[in-house]
A = this chain, B = another copy of it.
Amino acid sequence: MEASLPEQRNVSTMQTLPGFRDFLPEQCAVRNHIFACWREVARRYGFVEWEGPVLEPTDLYKKKSGAEIVEQLFHFKDKGDREVALRPELTPTLARVVAAHEREFKKPLKWFSIGQFFRYEKQQRGRLREHFQLNCDIIGEADLAADIELVALCIDVLRAFGLSEKDVVVRISDREFWTDFFREQNMPADRWDELLQVIDKFGREPRERTVEKLGKLADPVFATLKGGGGNSDKLNRLIAGLRERGLADFIEIDVGIVRGLAYYTGIVFEVFDRAGKFRAIAGGGRYDNLIGLLSDGAVSLPALGFAMGDVVLGELINETPHAREAMEKAIASNRKIDIYIVIAKEERRADALAQIQQLRERGYRVDYPLTPTKVARQFQAAEELGARVALLYGDEWPQVKIKNMATAEQELAPQDRLLAHLQAQVSLSS
């Protein structure tokens, strides 16, 4: 556990850097399953995929992301003396891209992206130095209907993994609730950001420290957090919109949610496991001013979005039996090949190879032994690789023996009619 050790300066080339992961085939299958569900649901919602660079000018984040992101930036000077950073989040890149290109697209944009993000901090459970994120954003729509659509998408992404309202909860708040509150309390606007950070850390910092930071606001803030608050018309309409879709059971109003990032302006939300074992699974909200700020006012567009990481989500799926089972089943089925070619006589290898080429061209996943191998071991390989059919090239030539691996039934087909024969039997893997 690196968390309790000093940084290791002697880096071994025989292991990953701390906080970075190798994805062996099993882990890569999990990652790809997560990516596939993310992409699938985003596309059902009519979202279109895009992607930005993993390396960006450090200033892109220093300007607007807020203290927590900047402290943990994985940044350095490149050989051209530029201050650059491995991106900690996607939103500033999105704002840059939209400011430059928005005229090419009809509004609202509904864009999603799947990519890797970085931070430099001590490793902890659910927090490495890299992770993958789904980002979904709607640009150019100020109406609350967009907030509802975005939260619904976030919930449906989780449901695609078999997670229900018993497993996860979306805690929703509205930054305007707090800015209205600060205004009532006559707090100057230039202190609001800092106060929101204190509220964001509520419960994660010692109470005395929170009291100290809030000063005379401590009592009314505590009272508000305790009371739940947030009975605003906007939040009620948001819940009503989700109820129309049958998703209201996933929602709880919680004005304690304000999000660490500095640029949010309206509705904000975070997703947690109901048992409270994990960090936030996803989070997002409205950032109506960010595009204008980053483009120095050249382009002003309302916007909102959320991000969901792969690490905490993966842990939650792993510890939720029905979700884990569904994932394992999907992965096992996706891993299978279609056809294994058993070369029983080496004299038939050239014929088999010509056939393998034909089958692969038709889209079948086909494997075979690269070198002479005992027939029993070949059938074992066919079994392990999940082949639905084994084709045996041996004494029966110019006929080929077709073995259905599930039923063990065998039949003979002439080599030149094999393809038609198989087409009827073996549908393509997706």
**Which residues of A are interface residues toward B (Cβ below 8 A)?**
7-9, 11-18, 20-25, 28-29, 31-32, 40-41, 43-46, 48-57, 59-60, 63, 74, 76-84, 86, 92-93, 96-97, 99-101, 104, 106, 108, 111, 116, 118, 120, 130, 138, 141, 143, 145-146, 149, 152, 156, 241, 244-247, 294-295, 335, 337, 350, 353-354, 356-357, 360-361, 363-367, 370-371, 381, 384-385, 429-430
Contact = CB atoms under 8 A, between A and B. Distances in A.
Nearest to A108: B370
Closest CB pairs A-B (n = 8): A46-B367, A7-B80, A20-B53, A76-B76, A23-B51, A11-B57, A245-B357, A145-B370
A54 B54 contact: yes
Contact of A385 (B32, B46, B366, B385): B46
Contacts of A93: 22
Contact of A49 (B28, B46, B97, B241): B28
A80 B245 CA distance: 49
30 contacts: A9-B82, A13-B63, A14-B294, A15-B96, A16-B52, A17-B57, A17-B78, A20-B53, A21-B53, A22-B50, A22-B52, A22-B97, A24-B50, A25-B48, A25-B49, A25-B111, A44-B360, A44-B366, A45-B360, A45-B365, A46-B337, A46-B385, A53-B130, A54-B130, A76-B76, A76-B77, A156-B360, A245-B353, A245-B357, A246-B357
Nearest to A337: B46
A107 to B, nearest CB: 10
B51 A350 contact: no
Nearest to A109: B25
B51 A31 contact: yes
A320 B430 CA distance: 28
B365 A46 contact: yes
Nearest to A120: B79
A335 B46 CA distance: 9
A57 B366 contact: no
A343 to B, nearest CB: 11
A16 B244 contact: no
Contacts of A86: 55
A56 B244 contact: no
A141 B371 contact: yes
A377 B315 CA distance: 44
A40 B363 CA distance: 8
Interface centre among A17, A45, A74 (most CB of B within 10 A): A17
Contacts of A50: 22-25, 28
Contacts of A51: 22-23, 28, 31
A356 B156 CA distance: 12
B143 A82 contact: no
